[in-house]
A and B are shown apart, each in its own frame.
Chain A
């Protein structure tokens, strides 16, 4: 492990920027000589199994350990120069769990988000932009307010980006994106019907555009300044996506590790990045197959956002 953390650091989002042990420094220098993923997505699986195997007495203790590990991993990723991280914190499907566990998780989230807002000095020092993906209407009003405050507070920060998915499923995200587009169609800003090239040009002149992949991308939660992940990591030996970033990770390098999330250490992160480096060129070539004549969008779209306001704009026609 990188450092022995103080109780205050254990409770917080940022661990101290101390000197790394020599072997970590050496490994980092060696690995950083190759390409480093810009965006890594994590499925933080295995907290409950960790609590059971270590006899912690309560599954929430396992989630707390998982959070401490997340703070360490954020620090390691920052040192590697990874600019964006997305974590799957809570799935909409997780509401099926016992009431005790769900309320415990919500309490933990409230505590951590409040702690983040209170840590003003650290926030200004690290300059990390926090975004929340998912269907927030399923959460308590207090949590929604905290999330909104964090987003507003860190909106202009450019030191990196952390996307927290809570409560999230990819299908829900895609469906909400479709619904946003349908509302634009109803308002007459977007045209649905397939038309000939001649009529398409006329529609463009009128400021009406057709639905394409880029428009769906822009209307997703990740459309507000997020990028596609280069590396998708899942811990705990499960080999499935579990409804996480299915649209965004369709062409991504997917890496599965057998260790439980609280045991996902520096060595495991290095292994994942080395694996990414080994297959990077091949994965990029395969994803480039996508750009055929059929797929190439005639118009690209962007979601302009400020606070809770969203505006879909065409940036190239």
Chain B
């Protein structure tokens, strides 16, 4: 008597063997192998959380307040300490009141807008810095004016210090360019020295989407000249 079950198992195994043979011949790994390889690669990569994450909106239609607030929440849970939101269109600065309210009520976050402190809580897990176009080259012009009033020689350290103290501008570890336009839209230039860039079609507001970006950051090789 022929065992139907045995024939089915043998047929499945034969088909699987054939698929493997074809895939190996064509140079493609089967889907499960690709997933396993990806997981193994990720196990070997030490996940590095960027301490300072920056977001640069390259398209006006992608500036959405609810998504921004959701992203702030995701940043808190991912352990990101500072979030700079650069919007060259000025939409976020126009809605700063609502962002401030969200920072006060839902997210334990300090809020700065164009270098001005709007809300500060001693126990905050996140610092949010909303930046407009004014914080680009114009902030550097102001820094230059301040330094020119003093007698001391101007050094890179002093420029960084002035920008930090006067405009709350510091170097982001990772910058997300939101949208498809490949430009930095005038993001404060001084602070992009060794910042890593990643282009994303939309704001990674969910925790899962943000984790994907953090994984991409972890895989980057940062050498600083060496």
| A residues in contact (CB < 8 Å) with B | 91-97, 169-172, 174-175, 178-179, 181-182, 185, 190, 192-194, 211-213, 216, 238-243, 246-247, 249-256, 275, 279, 282-283, 286-287, 289-290, 292, 294-295
Decide if B189 is an interface residue (CB 8 Å cutoff): yes
Q: Chain B 78-100 against A: per-residue CB contact (8 Å), 1 yes, 0 no?
A: 00000000001100000000000
Q: What separation, in Å, do the CA atoms of A181 and B140 have in the docked complex?
A: 13
Q: Which chain A positions have C-beta within 8 A of B148?
A: 178, 181-182, 185, 190, 192, 211
Decide if B193 is an interface residue (CB 8 Å cutoff): yes
Q: Which chain A positions have C-beta within 8 A of B226?
A: 93, 96-97
List 26 A–B pairs whose Cβ atoms lie within 8 Å, in order of A's numbering. Answer: A93-B224, A94-B225, A96-B225, A96-B226, A97-B226, A169-B193, A171-B159, A178-B144, A179-B153, A185-B148, A192-B149, A213-B137, A213-B141, A238-B221, A240-B197, A249-B189, A250-B187, A251-B183, A251-B184, A283-B181, A286-B88, A286-B183, A290-B136, A292-B133, A295-B133, A295-B137
Q: Which chain B positions have C-beta within 8 A of A289?
A: 88-89, 133, 185-186
Q: Which chain B positions have C-beta within 8 A of A194?
A: 145
Q: Which chain A positions have C-beta within 8 A of B194?
A: 240, 242-243
Contact between chains at B145 and A192 (CB < 8 Å)? yes
Q: What separation, in Å, do the CA atoms of A252 and B183 have in the docked complex?
A: 6
Once A174-B159, A182-B147 are accepted as A-B contacts, the answer to whether A253 and B183 lie under 8 Å apart by CB is yes
User: A90: nearest residue on chain B (CB-CB)?
Assistant: B225
Q: Which chain A positions have C-beta within 8 A of B144?
A: 178, 181, 211, 216
Q: Chain B 147-183 against A: per-residue CB contact (8 Å), 1 yes, 0 no?
A: 1110001111001000000000000000000001111
Once A182-B147, A290-B186 are accepted as A-B contacts, the answer to whether A241 and B192 lie under 8 Å apart by CB is yes
User: B90: nearest residue on chain A (CB-CB)?
Assistant: A289
Q: Which chain B positions have C-beta within 8 A of A96?
A: 224-226
Q: Which of A212, A250, A286, A292 has a CB less than 8 Å from the CB of B189?
A: A250
Among residues 99 to 118 in chain B, which have CB atoms less than 8 Å away from a CB atom of chain A?
none
Among residues 111 to 145 in chain B, which have CB atoms less than 8 Å away from a CB atom of chain A?
133-134, 136-138, 140-141, 143-145
Q: What separation, in Å, do the CA atoms of A213 and B140 have in the docked complex?
A: 8
What's the nearest-Cβ distance from chain A to residue B121, in Å? 31
Q: A94-B225, A243-B194 are in contact. List 20 more A-B contacts (CB 8 A).
A: A96-B224, A97-B226, A175-B155, A175-B156, A178-B144, A178-B159, A182-B147, A185-B148, A192-B149, A240-B197, A241-B195, A242-B225, A246-B193, A250-B184, A279-B182, A286-B58, A286-B185, A286-B186, A289-B88, A295-B137
Residue tally, chain B, CB below 8 Å to A: 43
Contact between chains at A279 and B181 (CB < 8 Å)? yes
What's the nearest-Cβ distance from chain B to residue A49, in Å? 10
Contact between chains at B186 and A91 (CB < 8 Å)? no
A-B contact count (CB 8 A): 140
Contact between chains at A247 and B58 (CB < 8 Å)? no
Once A240-B194, A254-B184 are accepted as A-B contacts, the answer to whether A172 and B156 lie under 8 Å apart by CB is yes
Q: Which of B137, B181, B182 has a CB less than 8 Å from the CB of A250?
A: B137
Decide if B220 is an interface residue (CB 8 Å cutoff): yes
Q: Which chain A positions have C-beta within 8 A of B143?
A: 178
Q: What separation, in Å, do the CA atoms of A213 and B181 have in the docked complex?
A: 25
Contact between chains at A174 and B183 (CB < 8 Å)? no
What's the nearest-Cβ distance from chain B to residue A258, in Å? 13
Contact between chains at B192 and A175 (CB < 8 Å)? no
Q: Which chain A positions have C-beta within 8 A of B221?
A: 238
Q: What separation, in Å, do the CA atoms of A190 and B148 have in the docked complex?
A: 10
Q: Which chain A positions have C-beta within 8 A of B140?
A: 174, 216, 247
Once A216-B144, A239-B198, A294-B134 are accepted as A-B contacts, the answer to whether A246 and B185 lie under 8 Å apart by CB is no
Q: Which of A242, A282, A290 has a CB less than 8 Å from the CB of B181?
A: A282
What's the nearest-Cβ distance from chain A to residue B117, in Å? 22
What's the nearest-Cβ distance from chain A to residue B189, in Å? 4
Contact between chains at B182 and A251 (CB < 8 Å)? no
What's the nearest-Cβ distance from chain B to residue A98, in Å? 9
Q: Which chain A positions have C-beta within 8 A of B190?
A: 171, 174, 246
Contact between chains at A286 and B198 (CB < 8 Å)? no
The 8 A-B pairs with the shortest beta carbon distances in the complex, nearest first, are: A93-B225, A246-B189, A239-B197, A250-B189, A182-B148, A178-B154, A185-B148, A171-B156
Q: Which chain B positions have C-beta within 8 A of A256?
A: 197
